[in-house]
Amino acid sequence: MHSDAALHLTVDAQYCSPYAMSVYVALQEKQLPFTLATLDLDHGANHAPAYAASSLTARVPALQHGDFVLSESSAITEYLDELFPAPALYPQSAQDKARARQIQAWLRSDLLPLRQERDTLVVFYRPVRQPLSDSGQRAAHKLLRVAEQLLLPGRDSLFGEWSIVDVDLALMLNRLRLNGDPMPQRLADYAARQWQRPSVQQWLQLARPALA
């Protein structure tokens, strides 16, 4: 595979997938040219035979690089970082890099009640009025506890310099912040700063279809 082969990213039609956002931001940070396509997940376009076969998991995002197709966002961002090392998406020390991957895996596999009750429509469209359930509150408490432990006082990023994990964590925190749910000011400020990053702003400014 030649590193200069064309890059093509497939994301959801509403631009609401946190995982699609992570890869989009990664490509923007590395200033890599790419084409962008969308799939209507509400109508099952991701299960069309051709897409399901090429992506393996029938999910978004999927990155096509030449004739190689890769899905699952953290696999994609690690692939991009290995193939296009600068600027780095991950911290450089082995322990920090392992911690970053741990955080990504955790954010993608845990906190389900929070992800359900404060879905990404809250982040990209509008807040909801329903209070968090008991399980949602427990998930929110866990998120805030871990985030406070990870983000050292006085730091603007988790590892001293920006990494893709800052965007992933900020998105999860913004499920609460943008809905007006209570959270420590230090974490709200961190999430708001990450949201102003130019690569993130490019994702936020994509034209989203109106909700049905």
Single-letter amino acid, residue 50: A
- Distance, in Å, from the CA atom of 102 to the CA atom of 83, rounded to the nearest integer, reads 21
Confidence label for 1 from pLDDT (cuts 50, 70 and 90): low
Main-chain dihedrals φ then ψ at residue 62, nearest 5 degrees: -135, 135
The mean pLDDT of the chain is: 93
Q: What is the pLDDT of residue 203?
A: 97
Please state whether the predicted TM-score (pTM) of the whole model is above 0.75.
Answer: yes
Single-letter amino acid, residue 151: L
Whether the per-residue pLDDT at 160 is higher than 80: the answer is: yes
Q: What is the pLDDT of residue 58?
A: 67
Q: What is the pLDDT of residues 76-104, one digit of tens each?
A: 999 999 999 999 999 999 999 999 999 99
Confidence label for 2 from pLDDT (cuts 50, 70 and 90): low
Q: What is the pLDDT of residues 36-75, one digit of tens each?
A: 999 887 777 777 777 777 778 867 899 999 999 999 999 9
Helix axis angle, 94-109 relative to 73-83, nearest 10°? 150
